[in-house]
Amino acid sequence: MTFDVQQARSHFSALKSGFIFADNAGGSQCAKDVADKVYDYLLNTNVQLGADYSVSVLSTTKVTVEAPKVAAKLFNCSPDEIIFGPSSSANMENLARSLDASIEAGDEFILTGEHEANNGPFKKLAARTGAVVKFWRPTPTNPSNPYSVALKTDELLPLITSKTRIIAFTACSNILGSIVPVKEVVEAARKAAKKEGADKVQFSVDCVAYAPHRLIDVKDWDIDYCVFSFYKVYGPHTSALYVRQHTLDKLSSIVHHFLKVDTKAHKLQPGGPGYELVYGTTGVVPYLESLTPEGTLKATFAAIAEHEQTLVEPLLKFLTAPAQVERGVRVVGREEAGLTRVPTISFVVVGQKPLKSKAVVDFFDKKGGIGIRYGHFYAYGLIDNLEPKIDPEDAVIRISLVHYNTVEEVTAIIETLKEALS
């Protein structure tokens, strides 16, 4: 599998400035193919959907036919199972609202305390319906680093009972950067649920931090709900939600009561999505497919995973070197490189000479040329439950890279880190 990082970079105008974008988990750069689609929609077909005149028919096709087909390729599902929304948080909130009538008091939800998008709506759903919330917490993998936490399947299974209704977890944490083996988790959890007599258990998987790095496969994973944000995957600020068809059929509509939705998916799209942004998403897959000679998403994501290791390895090697450990640097998440690790790397500086995460980022900002960030990144629950405690507002320093970043950029980041930590 060949991957030409310079060819990939040529699709992103912002990269020509020389600025190093290292906050990609907060939002990647947008590919030119995508921007061209948004431009085309706004200038040529910017009308309301559903009318019989020719321009509206064309606009309707772009938004309700073409866009779901492309998004379905990224999920490996039917276009009829795709819902668009302004963000993953909004999509999950809409989903949770549609579940109100089907949840009973005493039903149990098992959540990971990570990004609030995939657990906040379920916590509020539980409060509305009398359901019970349990948490599957990540635990340390290295005894000498209490922050080296990861989710472990064998710590989920004891939480499952006959009342388990929803298990919601992340495929990849936007803080920890480690990939959760979704298929393995689901298979083990379904087996445990069957043993307990939990015949209604459903799985919701947050792929926001996973989708830029690996190919989603909702069919192989055998899950009910899955969400990601296109603005983390080289697209516009909109989100796609997958809902399994037979599950979608049973959900309550949350749109205006007098509307007869033309597809089941539209009953979870109150007010409709941003049309130009939804059409813009149709540029994402062609861009990704252009990155390898094979022209397939499978080949592209395999090449991306391989290239990303050239970014992960030197950065983790620096952060876990004896000199940095003695300085008080602690990686938050698994410390090892490998294909189960994406280049989203968080750390703190503790010990006898601790540094605020904000202070490290301020050093980068004053020097200029590199964008990184600090904070809890909406994974407040994860940060708040780390031991020893850290301030959830200051939280962690995060460096998040993607396939268009280069080894030379990582070197520049490491050199600046040396200065910031001295």
How high is the pLDDT of residue 87?
A: 96
Average pLDDT of span 81-103 = 96
Query: Three-class SS of residue 128?
Result: helix
The answer to whether residue 123 scores a pLDDT higher than 70 is yes
Residue 142 pLDDT exceeds 80: yes
CA distance 211 to 229: 8
Amino acid 1: pLDDT: 63
Mean pLDDT of 9-17: 98
Whether residue 358 is predicted with pLDDT greater than 70 in this model: the reply is yes
- Determine the average pLDDT of the residues in 62-88: 97
CA 322 to chain centre: 32
* 305 has a pLDDT exceeding 70: yes
Which residue, among 108, 326, 287, has the nearest Cα to 197 in the 3D structure? 108
Judged against a pLDDT cut of 70, whether residue 59 lies above it is answered with yes
Residue 263 has pLDDT above 70, yes or no: no
Q: Looking at residue 262, what is its pLDDT?
A: 59
Domain boundaries, the chain: 5-30+294-421, 42-287
**Cα dihedral 54, 59, 60, 66 in deg (nearest 10):** 120
Helix (H, G, I), strand (E, B) or coil at 82: strand
- Asked if 403 contacts 5 with a C-beta cutoff of 8 angstroms, the reply is yes
42-287 carries CATH number 3.30.870.10: no
Hey, do 5-30+294-421 and 42-287 end up sharing a CATH topology, with the first three levels equal? no
> What average pLDDT does range 318-336 have in this prediction?
97
pLDDT in tens, 405-414: 999 999 999 9
Under the banding of pLDDT at 50, 70 and 90, the label for residue 259 is confident
pLDDT over 90 at 218, yes or no:
yes
Percent over 90 (pLDDT), the chain: 94
Average pLDDT for 304-331: 98
- Sequence-separated contacts (24+) of 42-45 with Cβ below 8 Å: 42/276, 45/279
Give pLDDT tens digits for 184-200: 999 999 999 999 999 89
Q: What is the model's pLDDT at position 3? A: 87
The pair of three-digit structure tokens given for residue 44, joined into one six-digit string:
């040529």
Q: What predicted TM-score, i.e. pTM, was given to this entire model?
A: 0.96
pLDDT for residue 258 = 81
Contact 282, 31 (CB under 8 A): no
Mutual orientation of helices 88-98 and 120-129 as an angle, nearest 10°? 20
CATH 3.90.1150.10 at 5-30+294-421, yes or no = yes
Rounded mean pLDDT, 105-131: 95
Comparing CA positions, the residue from 376, 214, 222, 235 lying closest to residue 303 is 214
Average pLDDT over residues 328-346: 96
The 3-class secondary structure across 179-239, one letter per residue, is ECCHHHHHHHHHHHHHHHCCCCCEEEEECCCCCCCCCCCHHHHCCCEEEEEHHHCCCCCCE
Quote the mean pLDDT of the chain.
Answer: 96
Question: Is the Cβ–Cβ distance between 169 and 180 less than 8 Å?
Answer: yes
Mean pLDDT value of segment 20-35: 98
For residue 292, pLDDT over 80 is answered with yes
- pLDDT greater than 70 at residue 374: yes
Instruction: Indicate if the pLDDT at residue 62 is higher than 70.
Output: yes
- Has residue 134 got a pLDDT over 90? yes
d(CA 27, CA 393) in angstroms, rounded, equals 20
